[in-house]
Amino acid sequence: MLAYRHAFHAGNHADVLKHTVLTRVLRYMNGKDKGYRLVDTHAGAGGYSLEGRYAQKKGEFEAGVARLWGRDDLPEAVADYLSIVRQFNPDGTLTQYPGSPAFAQMLLRPQDQLRMFELHPTDHRILASYLGTVRGAEVYDKDGFDGLKGQVPPPTRRGVVLMDPSYEGHGDYGRVIASLRDAITRFAEGVYMVWYPQVSKLEAAQLPKRLEALAPKGWLHARLTVQQPDSMGFGLAGSGVFIINPPYTLHAELLEVMPYLTEVLGQYDDANYLLEQRAA
């Protein structure tokens, strides 16, 4: 039984970070004509209404994408991310938020392939009706950790994997490591992007170090902390993205992005970011 629904969180600070980085990675991949495959192992519904009861329940997007909406001082990479969100809201009012499959759909080219896994029956149905018949795209109602195996290496040996679990499933932290270890054995040169929540859990704190160990050819880690956990130590303080084999351009781009997002999305005085990498 899957309880997690991304509709509650669409457009929050974590989505802003994740989708800004995803946009940078895909723009970089588009720099070469040769096609590539994007595997979205935990795809969600593909797009979300910000006026629906899920998004309205906690209004998380208000402290996320909505804070960027009217600004005129956006760094280039954030402006590029927001331009995609704007294409989803052609009348200029922020009412819809694109999920990772929608970012992919906007950025992938005819020679590229999109493979999406989503287990929740409702979100899978929405995703399949949105992208299921698009050329080059395939939507599976299967486990994304297991499904990754069959997707790498891609025929062109160019590929990106976005692994964005809810971490509410049993053993998700361990499954991230196991499925990536297997995928990297099959396809060492792939770009692997993992999102993780900054929560008071040992497994979450240990995940970046465990990912480093899988990345002998180089990695980049960006973490954005926007709020304090509540008095019980619960709550999403922030989130991180860890990229194995990152584009060489990414660190310089995020040097501009991270301080800006900290300033604009921070919800307390000690909001902060971490940006580190080890090049090959």
Ligand X SMILES: C[S@@+](CC[C@H](N)C(=O)[O-])C[C@H]1O[C@@H](n2cnc3c(N)ncnc32)[C@H](O)[C@@H]1O
* Binding positions for ligand X, rule: CB under 6 A: 2, 4, 6, 18, 42-44, 99-100, 117-120, 123, 143-145, 164-166, 169
| Cβ–Cβ under 8 Å, residues 38 and 114 | yes
- Min dist CB 18 to ligand X, Å, is 6
- Min dist CB 121 to ligand X, Å, is 9
Angle, helix 202-212 to helix 172-186, in steps of 10 degrees: 10
Among all residues, whose Cβ is closest to ligand X?
Answer: 99
Q: Of 15, 40, 112, 164, which is the active-site residue?
A: 164
| Sign for the pseudo-dihedral over CA of 185, 252, 238, 271 | positive
Return the number of the residue (144 or 208) whose C-beta is nearest ligand X. Answer: 144
Give the residue from 252, 212, 255, 258 showing the smallest Cα distance to 239. Answer: 258
40 is catalytic: no
Return the number of the residue (144 or 154) whose C-beta is nearest ligand X. Answer: 144
Return the number of the residue (112 or 123) whose C-beta is nearest ligand X. Answer: 123
- Min dist CB 168 to ligand X, Å, is 8
Return the number of the residue (56 or 166) whose C-beta is nearest ligand X. Answer: 166
- Which residue reads 């509709």 in tokens? 7
- Min dist CB 98 to ligand X, Å, is 8
Question: In sequence order, what E strands does the chain have?
Answer: 37-40, 47-49, 96-98, 113-117, 137-140, 159-163, 191-198, 219-225, 238-244, 272-278
Residue 120's contacts (CB-CB under 8 Å, 6 or more residues apart) are 2, 4, 5
- Min dist CB 42 to ligand X, Å, is 3
Amino acid at 35: G
Give the residue from 182, 161, 165 showing the smallest Cα distance to 173. Answer: 165
Exposure letters 59-94 (e unless 16+ CB within 10 A, then b): ebbebbbbbbbeeeebbebbebbbebbeebeeeeeb
Neighbours of 221 (CB within 10 A): 21
Which residues form the catalytic set?
164
